[in-house]
Structure 1
Amino acid sequence: MTDEAVTALAEPSQRLVARLVDTLIVGVPLATAATAIFSRETAQTVVAPVAFAAVYLVYEAVQLAIWGRTVGKRLTGLRVVSADGGPLRVPQALVRSAIYAVPPAARPIPVLNVLAGIFWLAEIGLIFEGDLHQALHDRAAGTLVIDVRSRPEPVAEPEDIPLSDV
C-alpha cells in the first residue's frame, strides 16, 4: 500500500458529501427531463429511477476508470484507489459503480424497492464500520477512498521544561 493511502483514508462525511454532489449532478437534469417528457407519476416512479441507474453507472465508471475520481470526489479532495494502494483498474471501477448504481433501477418493483432501500442503508452504515471505512461496493471491488488534499504537518509540542527553584 502506498504512503498516500496509508496516511489519508477519507472520512465518511467527505464521502457522503461527494456522493451527494454526484447524485445531484446526474439526478437533477434527469428528473427535470423525465418530468418534461412523461407524466409526473411515470417520470418519478419509472423513468427517472431507471435512467438514473444507467446514467450514474456510466458517469461514475468512466470517471473512476480514467481519473480515479468523480466531480464530487474532486470537490471534496478524494480519490478511489485499489485496496493495495495502486491505481484503480477498469474492472474495479465497473464493479464499484454497478453495485452502487443498480439499486435505484429496482424502484418501480415494489418488493425490490424495499430491498434496495435496505441495501442503501447498509451501504451507508458500512462506511462507519472498520478502520478502512469501506462500503459494500468498496469491499466487493477491492477499493479504498483516500483524501488527497494536502494536510498540514502537525506542530511539535514543546518539551516540558521543568521549572527550576529560584
Structure 2
Amino acid sequence: MAASLAEPGQRLLARVVDTLVVGVPVVLVVRELVPGHTADVMAPSAVAGCMLLYEAIQLALWGRTLGKRVAGIEVVAATPQEAPEAAPRGAGGAGGAGENAGLGNESAFPVSVPGFVPVAAPEPAKAPAPEEAEVVDASTRPDVLHCVLRAAVYSVPIGLRPIPVLGLLASIFWVVNAGAMFEGVRRQAVHDRLAGTLVVKRPRPESSAF
C-alpha cells in the first residue's frame, strides 16, 4: 500500500495533541502529590516516562498515537532508498547513436579544409529537478524495539529539562530535531532517522454512503 509522506503541519498537530493528552494530567497529578519546588523538578521526568510508554505502546500496536489519529498520519518502517541507475553511454541509446552517426558521417565536417579540427558542441545543462516528497510503502509497521527507540529519543530530553546544562542541550536537540524534517525528501526527524521510520498520511477508508 503506497502512501504520501506526512506534512510538517500534521506532525506538529499530532505532537500538540499528544503533549496535551499526556502532559497536562501528569503535571496536575504530580503537583497534587508533591508540594513545592520538588514538583517542578519531578514533573518533567514523570511526563517523559509516561510519554515514552504512551507512544511506544501505541506505535507497536497500531502504528499511531491518539494525536496521530487526529492528524491522519501513522508511523511505518522506512525502506532503503534505491540509487537511480545511470544509463550507459553509447549502449544503443539516443546519445550513443548520435555520436556514432556524427563520427561515421563524412559530410558532417568539412574535411577538405587543412588544419580544421571538428569540435562537438557541448550538451546543454539540464536544470535540476525540484525535490519532491516521495511516495513510500506504508504496509510495514516498525517492530517493538524500533518503536521504543523512537519514543525514547523524543521523550528522554523532556526529563532532562530541570538539569541546567542538559536542559539547554535538550532544547537545542528539539530545534535540530524539527529542522531535520526539512533536510532531504523523506522528512525524517532525528528520532525517525535513528529508529528507521517514516511518518506517512493514513489513507481515509472509502465509504459507500455517497
TM over 0.5: yes
Question: Deviation string for 1:32-79 (max 9, x for gaps)?
Answer: 1111122243212x1110001111000000000000000000111101
Greater alpha carbon shift after TM alignment, 33-42 vs 132-141: 33-42
AA in 1 matched with 2:54: Y
Instruction: Name whichever structure is richer in helix by fraction.
Output: 1
Q: Who wins on radius of gyration, i.e. which is larger?
A: 2
Are 2:27 and 1:28 aligned?
A: no
Moved over 6 A (4+): none
Q: What do you get for the CA RMSD once the two structures are aligned?
A: 1.6
AA in 2 matched with 1:3: A
Distance 1:110 1:77, change over 3 A: same
Partner of 2:58: 63
User: Which structure has more RCO (C-alpha within 8 Å, separation ≥ 6)?
Assistant: 2
Are 2:204 and 1:150 aligned?
A: yes
Partner of 2:124: none
Greater alpha carbon shift after TM alignment, 67-76 vs 78-87: 78-87
Counterparts of 1:94-105 in structure 2, within 5 Å, are 94-105=148-159
TM-score normalized by structure 2?
0.67
Greater alpha carbon shift after TM alignment, 134-143 vs 28-37: 28-37
Question: Aligned residues, how many?
Answer: 147
Are 2:117 and 1:118 aligned?
A: no
Question: Deviation string for 1:101-141 (max 9, x for gaps)?
Answer: 00011112110010001011111111222211100000000
Are 2:2 and 1:3 aligned?
A: yes
Greater alpha carbon shift after TM alignment, 82-91 vs 117-126: 82-91
AA in 1 matched with 2:171: G
* Identity within the alignment, %: 50
TM-score normalized by structure 1?
0.84
Q: Separation in 2 of the partners of 1:43 and 1:125? A: 32
Partner of 1:53: 48
Are 2:147 and 1:93 aligned?
A: yes
Q: Separation in 2 of the partners of 1:41 and 1:12? A: 36
Greater alpha carbon shift after TM alignment, 119-128 vs 94-103: 119-128
Q: Separation in 2 of the partners of 1:78 and 1:148? A: 5
1:76 to 71, 78, 81: 71
Q: Separation in 1 of the partners of 2:60 and 2:186? A: 21
Q: Separation in 2 of the partners of 1:25 and 1:150? A: 24
